[in-house]
Amino acid sequence: MKQQLFEQRHRATWQALGTQLETLERGQVDASACKGFAADYRRLCQHLALAQARGYSNHLIDELEHLALRGHQQFYRHSSPLGAQLIGFLLVGFPRLVRAEWRHVLAASLLFFGSLLGMGLLVYAVPELVYSLVSPDQVANMEQMYDPDASRLGRFGERDSGDDWVMFGYYIMNNIGIAFQTFASGLLLGLGSLFFLLFNGLMIGAVAGHLTQIGYGQPFWSFVIGHGAFELTAIALAGAAGFKLGWALLAPGRLPRGTALRQAAAVSVRLIGGVIMLLLLAAFIEAYWSSMTFATPTVKYAVGAGLWVLVLAYLLLSGRDQHAPD
């Protein structure tokens, strides 16, 4: 069957299910209105499987996948304590959502990590380039923060361990501010998220390349490798959430832009909830582990590598089961 005929036959069913899902997501529906939901959800899953098997367009498959994900969340929703719902989202829902939005995640990750790596290599090869992005005063501060002889790494000036909680709060506010900026600016047709991903990637890469080139690489890399697994991943995911908003405005498909944006926002806000969790972990590690000098660089590299593997395994594997459509 041709895609056009397939859509003509089933478009009304999909739109009706989408309307019902919007009502369910707002919690404004009684039991009698949900009688046919299970059958509609199974029918949608069948349509999705047919569309994939027949090689229909990515646009149609993405639309059906999004509906199936929303349907799955409502179908298996149950009244549980808020704490249990939060734990379920963090352990299962968030990584499943990241995989469902893999296209936006991939685009944001390539932009952020690609610009970071590229600028780092350029500055390492041509040291003067660092001053095209970072002022001389900021460069001097960075050199002081990662001086191999410093008693605490990653901090301007000397602080005792009693100030760790102050730095913990500072890292939370700073990191969440960057993530929200990267996410919310996606409303500018995705261009704001694109800018902030590139800007942060280039800045971090320039600093990394400079410190490595002048011989401060060991204290710098041993400092960032631990919390970087959570912090850098969170920035990329915030950009993906912003791209989700921007794409809904640029290519709403058959939906009105307002409806497409509301649906995209429902997904993006959930992504940002997981991003905040990652940033809280990053801030804790940065304040209480990364800045410490009692552990050798080898130990920090080993712990950092383990944390990167943990984050990747969590996002790629957590929440997978035979019943859940990733």
- CB atoms under 10 Å from CB of 51, counted, come to 20
Q: Report pLDDT digits (tens) over 244-289.
A: 999 999 999 888 899 899 999 999 999 999 999 999 999 999 988 8
**Which H or E run includes 247?**
helix 217-250
Same domain, 60 and 110: no
Please state, in angstroms and rounded to a whole number, the distance separating the CA atoms of residues 326 and 320: 7
Same domain, 132 and 68: no
Block residue for tokens 């993405």: 62
Q: What's the pLDDT score for residue 182?
A: 96
Please state, in angstroms and rounded to a whole number, the distance separating the CA atoms of residues 260 and 65: 15
Q: What's the pLDDT score for residue 323?
A: 46
Q: What's the pLDDT score for residue 292?
A: 81
Q: What's the pLDDT score for residue 82?
A: 62
Of 305, 298, 321, 185, nearest to 245 by C-alpha is 185
Q: Which token pair is 316?
A: 């790629």
Mean pLDDT of 127-145: 93
Say if 82 falls within a structural domain. Answer: no
pLDDT band at 81 (very low <50, low <70, confident <90, very high): low
Q: Which token pair is 305?
A: 């590598």
Mean pLDDT of 227-246: 97
Q: What's the pLDDT score for residue 265?
A: 94
Alpha helices in 27-81 (DSSP H): 37-53, 58-75
Query: Contact at 8 Å (CB) between 142 and 211?
Result: yes
Mean pLDDT of 78-103: 82
Q: What's the pLDDT score for residue 276?
A: 95
Q: What is the DSSP letter of 34?
A: G
Same domain, 104 and 27: no
Same domain, 13 and 119: no
pLDDT band at 195 (very low <50, low <70, confident <90, very high): very high
Q: Report pLDDT digits (tens) over 24-65.
A: 777 666 566 566 778 888 899 999 999 988 989 988 888 898
- Give percent above pLDDT 70 in the chain: 88
Q: What's the pLDDT score for residue 157?
A: 47
Same domain, 153 and 239: yes
Domain endpoint, select from 43, 77, 111: 77
Domain endpoint, select from 45, 77, 109: 77
Q: What's the pLDDT score for residue 198?
A: 97
Q: What's the pLDDT score for residue 163?
A: 67
- Is a pLDDT exceeding 90 seen at residue 206? yes
Residues 6+ apart with CB under 8 A from 158: 150, 151, 152
Of 169, 145, 197, 177, nearest to 283 by C-alpha is 169
Please state, in angstroms and rounded to a whole number, the distance separating the CA atoms of residues 102 and 55: 19
Q: What's the pLDDT score for residue 153?
A: 65
Block residue for tokens 């949608």: 44
Same domain, 122 and 262: yes
Please state, in angstroms and rounded to a whole number, the distance separating the CA atoms of residues 164 and 275: 22
Query: Contact at 8 Å (CB) between 111 and 198?
Result: yes
Domain endpoint, select from 77, 108, 133: 77
Q: Report pLDDT digits (tens) over 56-67.
A: 998 888 889 888
Same domain, 161 and 289: yes
Say if 151 falls within a structural domain. Answer: yes
Q: What's the pLDDT score for residue 241?
A: 97
Q: What's the pLDDT score for residue 91?
A: 87
Say if 117 falls within a structural domain. Answer: yes
Same domain, 60 and 188: no
Q: What's the pLDDT score for residue 32?
A: 60
Q: Which token pair is 119?
A: 């600028």
pLDDT band at 324 (very low <50, low <70, confident <90, very high): very low
Say if 142 falls within a structural domain. Answer: yes
Query: Contact at 8 Å (CB) between 86 and 273?
Result: no
Q: Which token pair is 308?
A: 């990167």
Same domain, 61 and 126: no
Say if 162 falls within a structural domain. Answer: yes
- Domain hosting residue 26, numbered range: 3-77
pTM: 0.75
Residues 6+ apart with CB under 8 A from 82: none
Instruction: Indicate the number of domains in the chain.
Output: 2
Same domain, 56 and 152: no
Q: What's the pLDDT score for residue 261?
A: 94
- Is a pLDDT exceeding 80 seen at residue 321? no
Same domain, 60 and 183: no
Say if 89 falls within a structural domain. Answer: no
> Would you tell me the crossing angle of helices 191-213 and 164-184 to the nearest 10 degrees?
140
Same domain, 172 and 261: yes
Say if 146 falls within a structural domain. Answer: yes
Say if 322 falls within a structural domain. Answer: no
**Residues written for the chain:** 326
Least confident interval from 58-62, 96-100, 153-157, 222-226 = 153-157
Average pLDDT over the chain, rounded to whole? 87
Q: What's the pLDDT score for residue 322?
A: 42
